[in-house]
Amino acid sequence: MDYKKKYRQWRDDLFFDVATRRELIELRDEEEIKDRFYCDLTFGTGGLRGVMGAGTNRMNKYTVGKVTLGLGNYLLDSYGEEACKSRGVVIGYDTRNHSDFFAKIAANVLSSIGIRVYLHSHARPVPQLSFSVKFWNALAGVMITASHNSKEYNGYKVYDEYGCQLVLHQAEQVITYVDAITDYQMIRFCGDESLISMADVTDNFVIAVLKQSRCDDCAAKADLKIVYTPLHGTGTVPVQKALRLDGFVQVDTVAEQSIPDGNYHTVISPNPEDPHALALGIAQAERTGADLVLGTDPDCDRVGIAVRGREGKFHQMTGNQVGALLIKFLLTNSDMGQYLHPAVIKTVVTSDLGANIAGKHGVTVFSTLTGFKFIGERITQFQQAKQKGRENQAYDFLFGYEESCGYLAGIHAGDKDAVVSCLLISEMAAEIKAKGKTLLDEMEAIYSEYGYYRDALDSFTEENIDDPKKISSKMAQLRLMDSPFKETESVTDFLHPVAAEPGFGFLPVSDVLKYRLKDGSWIAVRPSGTEPKIKIYYSVKGKDMAEAERKLEGFRNTMRITLSI
């Protein structure tokens, strides 16, 4: 069926509700109609994500219903009716526009086919959804969120029974069932209320987070002054509760950003990596004399921080820097004797600095593809290996992180957790302050010992590469040529099988190229998984920061010339 027929069907068929048909009747732009109906919004390895609105290529009641029915049929075939009715599915949602509505749609569709649902009673973080799946011993979890995308978007993430996002082989199975839903009228939107329970395990989640505490210096924690902003998202309750119960008594929130708001009216982008996202928090910290600014994204799985330097100015720190600091803090403040085989997990586009710290302390470091779901998968493999007595895979998970400000300590969740991250970052800052230093001083000490690392990310979205086919062409072009960088030691193409650590086979194939240089620097190139852009990651090592900066500028120029952008 071509897009015009699909459009007319949605516009005219009384199966679709009045609001949907009215929205489509009012459309006049032919290109807009085509964009809404030329394809179906795809359920991929990261779940579902798209602009909200009427149409097959939009996030709406019907596309969410279709994916949910496919997921439900998959669960029924995989686990059986009895398990689906007893163990069920947990559904959570963030503060994004219509997230609560889509969560209720998902609950109704699952319950209509006999699957029990635990529906979060309030907007809560992604890691709390992951925790809830384990807490309720559920078969799966659904989280309605589009993370830090702009207000027009929403999304749908699926978690397995271990609280981890689906990885490729799992997603492919679900996709088969979703694709089998060929008629939206197969979906029943009237749920079975007897199978839907409203659930709130916030207190249980916070208790689990507090078990990761590494600092018992009450005076140091009471002395630290924190400004926290949830950026209009889900972190407000659990982050403040965790910090308060841990002994942090000087926590100010950014009032205007503590209000749930799917329009994110105070920020251009609610992304803690964005230098502007913490602007209001930093301004408040400057007025109040705070030491530390914490900002979590709307679904509260990532956190950005800014630290007051000795000169009084606030400095935002990168995900790679915070990850390295947290590894040192955890290794210094943990009873390492309790771990037989301690492990840290990072992604292939995360700096080697944290890995070098872990390695020096005898901790095994694992590298996964980009996406925390792969870190979660490895954690699950560690746990299953212990249960089954497979010694070659039985590692003790200590910490996992990625360069985009996502961290996890503990196994209470199977996804990155900004709540536990806020707790540990605050404890780390308190401990350092008690010694008369700042996290910036601690970072400088790490650089002095391990070398200076300058990390950066370029995302190219100019018109000449904003088409997916052009992006594929650019990647193919890079594969056909020799490395554009002098002193290249090796080039790894993840489209070919790349061995994981011993005992774990091979990494899944992925459209990533990584150039490793003889000086310890590396450059990685990959297409974005959610947007039409090319991402270039730089991890540059120098004898001092000035040299690292000079090298970075040279590498950036080389890539611009190579890609002709």
Q: What is the pLDDT of residues 161-184, one digit of tens each?
A: 999 999 999 999 999 999 999 999
Per-residue pLDDT for 3 more than 50? Answer: yes
pLDDT higher at 564 or 534: 534
pTM: 0.96
- pLDDT tens, position by position, 303-343: 999 999 989 999 999 999 999 999 999 999 999 999 999 99
Position 392 pLDDT exceeds 90 = no
Tens of pLDDT, residues 261-301: 999 999 999 999 998 999 999 999 999 999 999 999 999 99
On whether the CB atoms of residues 400 and 372 are closer than 8 A, the answer is yes
State the average pLDDT for the chain. Answer: 95
What is the DSSP-derived secondary structure letter of residue 42? P
d(CA 539, CA 364): 21
pLDDT at 464: 46
Helix axes of 319-332 and 439-450: crossing angle, nearest 10 degrees: 90
- Say if residue 439's pLDDT is above 80: yes
Give the mean pLDDT of 367-372: 95
> pLDDT tens, 235-267?
999 999 999 999 999 999 999 999 999 999 999
Q: Would you state the pLDDT for residue 530?
A: 63
Sequence-ordered alpha helix ranges (H) in 91-235: 99-112, 126-135, 168-179, 202-210, 218-223
Give residue 360's pLDDT. 96
Mean pLDDT of 498-521: 95
Question: Can you give the pLDDT at residue 216?
Answer: 96
Handedness of CA 176, 177, 180, 183 (dihedral sign): negative
Over 90: is that where the pLDDT of 345 sits?
Answer: yes
φ, ψ of residue 355 in degrees (nearest 5): -65, -40
Percent of the chain with pLDDT over 70: 98
Which two structure tokens, joined as six digits, stand for 242?
A: 């965790």
Average pLDDT value for residue range 63-75: 97
Strands 364-368 and 226-229 turn out to be unpaired
Q: How far apart (Å, rounded) are the C-alpha atoms in residues 270 and 147? A: 9
CA distance 248 to 231: 20
The candidate with the shortest Cα–Cα distance to 418, out of 402, 405, 434, is 405
Q: Is the pLDDT of residue 95 over 50?
A: yes
**Statement: residue 44 has pLDDT above 90:** no
**Residue matched to tokens 């002098």:** 486
Q: Are 342 and 396 in contact (CB under 8 A)?
A: yes
Is a pLDDT exceeding 60 seen at residue 531?
A: yes
- What the block records as the tokens of 364 is 């095994």
- Give the pLDDT confidence of 393-422 residue by residue, as tens digits: 999 999 999 999 999 999 999 999 999 999
Tokens of 386: 């212990």
Residues 6 or more apart in contact with residue 301 via CB below 8 angstroms: 125, 126, 127, 147, 372, 406, 415, 416, 417, 418
463 pLDDT above the threshold of 70: no
pLDDT given for residue 468 in this prediction = 63
As annotated, the active-site residues are 147
pLDDT average, residue stretch 72-80: 98
